[in-house]
Amino acid sequence: MTVLHLEDDGEAADLAAFLARLIHYDRGAVVRVQSTGTALAVFGRPPSFEVLAVRAVRLAKPYENGLEVGLDVTVSAGELLESVDEPAATAGVPAAVTGPPWAGVLPPRSGWRPEPGLPAPDVLRATVAAAVAEFRSRTEELAPERRTRTELDRIGREIWSRAIGDTELPVRAAHAAQSLGFLRPVPRSASGTEPLGLFSSGTWLRLRTPYGSIAVRRAGLGALGVSVR
> Residue 94: pLDDT band by 50, 70, 90 thresholds?
very high
> Residue 54's pLDDT band (boundaries 50, 70, 90)?
very high
**CATH hierarchy code of domain 2-104:** 3.10.150
Q: How far apart are CA 62 and CA 41, in angstroms?
A: 12
Beta carbons within 10 angstroms of residue 68's beta carbon: 8
**103 close to 18: Cβ distance less than 8 angstroms:** no
**C-alpha–C-alpha distance, residues 76 and 29, integer Å:** 6
pLDDT of 188 reads 63
148-161: average pLDDT: 93
Does residue 225 have a pLDDT over 50? no
Q: Name residues whose C-beta falls within 8 Å of residue 136's C-beta, 6 or more positions apart in sequence.
A: none
Report residue 65's pLDDT band, with 50, 70 and 90 as the boundaries: low
Non-local CB neighbours of 79 within 8 Å, separated by 6+ positions: 94, 95
Residues 7 and 156: their CA atoms lie apart, in Å, by 40
Phi, psi angles (nearest 5°) of residue 194: -70, 140
The segment(s) of the chain belonging to CATH 3.10.150 are 2-104
Predicted confidence at residue 191, as pLDDT, reads 52
pLDDT at residue 229 tops 50 = no
pLDDT tens-digit series, residues 162-217: 999 999 999 999 999 999 999 988 776 555 567 899 999 999 999 999 999 999 99
Q: State percent of the chain over pLDDT 90.
A: 77
Q: What is the mean pLDDT of residues 50-71?
A: 79
DSSP letter assigned to residue 85: B
Mean pLDDT for the chain overall: 88
| CA distances in angstroms from 163 to 52, 121, 218, listed in the order given | 17, 16, 11
With the C-alpha atoms ordered 218, 224, 229, 72, is the resulting torsion angle positive or negative? Answer: positive
- The pair phi, psi for residue 144, each rounded to 5°, is -50, -40
Beta-sheet pairing, 39-44 with 52-61:
antiparallel
* For range 90-114, the mean pLDDT: 93
* Buried b or exposed e, range 135-150, using 16+ CB within 10 angstroms: beeeeeeeeeeeeeee
